[in-house]
Amino acid sequence: MAAVAAEAAEEPLWGQVVGVQPGLTTTAPEVVQGVITEQPGANAGTRGSIESLGRWNEKRDDRAMPHKMGGDVRVAFGKFVDELVQTKGASSGILAISNWKEMLGPPRIFSEFSWSASGTSYQRHGAPDEAARLRAEAKKKGKEPLKIRFADFEGVVDDFGDEDQMAVYRVTLPSGGLDADKWSGRPPPPAPEDLYTGPRRDGLLSTGEISGDYSLCYFPIIGHSMTVVPHGPDMIETWRLCWFVLPPLIWPIAQGGVRTRDPGTNTFRYPQSQDPNKIVTFSADGTAEQGCDIFKKRPDSQKRAFQKVETRDLAGNWRGCCCPLFMLLWPFSGISCTTKKALNEDQYSESVRCCVLGVPCPVETTTRTRKYVNGHPTNGFDGTWYRDPGCAAQLPHTYAKKVG
């Protein structure tokens, strides 16, 4: 399943909360999503729970619990719930989180996750002594703890441990079960302040102001267009089409992605990317600078809002083509015939058959999962990005259209 904030250097990157607008509510709406209720309209007792069991000592060279994965707590929680649902007779399980700061290069926080369906192995190295507990409390003093909520579960994840201590939680599944057609581990809908795209009070450009259609042209060699849609105050989703024409080089490129704002600036970048050619800085005059290129907003451009592509609209037959850089090699282009089937709101399966020089390759079947960033659903699915329900880019040089 698909599916670090008082001080930026001290809290996990996946949990950063940015762009809160003064005067807006900071309370996320309650959600009941994916839960099977025993009676229509009955919510009581149908949600699961997240209960903190405190901190417990951990040793990197002698783990108390089996290490499962690193990265995003939302993704880890979803995978844990998936495994718990599939474990016969399991109604609850143990989730443990620890993190540490990487000092090579820019300071970054890394998180690790362990879980099990039962047992008390997390206690193997004992609880922190009083001095360690007081140090942890003093470190948190004066900080507003980051609270991560999950659809279908009461309670929050608000402690992420450290290098030597795990934050441990008992997660209990909803008593009514989870609907297999829903995304049980999906992050909850963003709070209102996380959806706000209007005018700001800090002098920065809002994502609503920079949304729209941009173009760049070095006639007759390069034609480049970029569409920007907002995801709240500090995140945007972009779709780009580019043609590079310098015979015998003709190179079509289609690409989508999500960029987040550098705090206090009008610069947006792919998460954790330091490549200057992938950083875009927007200006009030309607220009967007990326490396040596300067995009200009089109005179007829209108403000855009994010339109979520539904998996049910992606279902059907698709045709794609991957064109080599050299036009003389175009006869060797890979042609793909794909059939997609919606599995739930955030997953679909696809069967792909590629042909090169008319020779078919074996059929490959895979499942693709929607990408979530800071709780926002995007139109990216495991490397495939959608401009709309009928147009997709799987790699920078692979373009696909729905045909039926």
Domain layout of the chain by residue ranges: 13-193, 197-297, 311-402
For strands 48-57 and 153-157, give the pairing.
parallel
Helix (H) or strand (E) segment spanning residue 345: none
CA distances from 65 to 29, 95, 296 (A): 34, 10, 53
Strands 212-218 vs 359-360: parallel, antiparallel or unpaired: unpaired
pTM exceeds 0.85 for this model: no
* CATH topology (fold) of 311-402: Lipocalin (2.40.128)
Please determine, for residue 172, whether its predicted confidence score (pLDDT) is greater than 60.
yes
A 10 A CB-CB count for 7 gives: 8
Q: Give pLDDT, residue 345.
A: 81
Residues in the chain: 404
Can you tell me whether residue 252 is helix, strand or coil? strand
pLDDT band at 308 (very low <50, low <70, confident <90, very high): very high
- 197-297 and 311-402: same fold? yes
The reported pLDDT for the residue numbered 152 is: 79
Task: Identify any residues that bridge with 113 across adjacent strands, giving them in sequence order.
Answer: 69, 97
Tell me the pLDDT tens digit for each residue of 129-160.
Answer: 777 767 666 666 655 567 788 877 889 888 88
φ and ψ at residue 310, rounded to 5 degrees: -90, 140
- CA 28 to chain CA centroid, nearest Å: 19
Q: What is the average pLDDT across 173-199?
A: 73
Q: For the domain with range 197-297, which CATH number is right: 3.90.1580, 3.40.1130, 2.40.128, 2.30.30?
A: 2.40.128
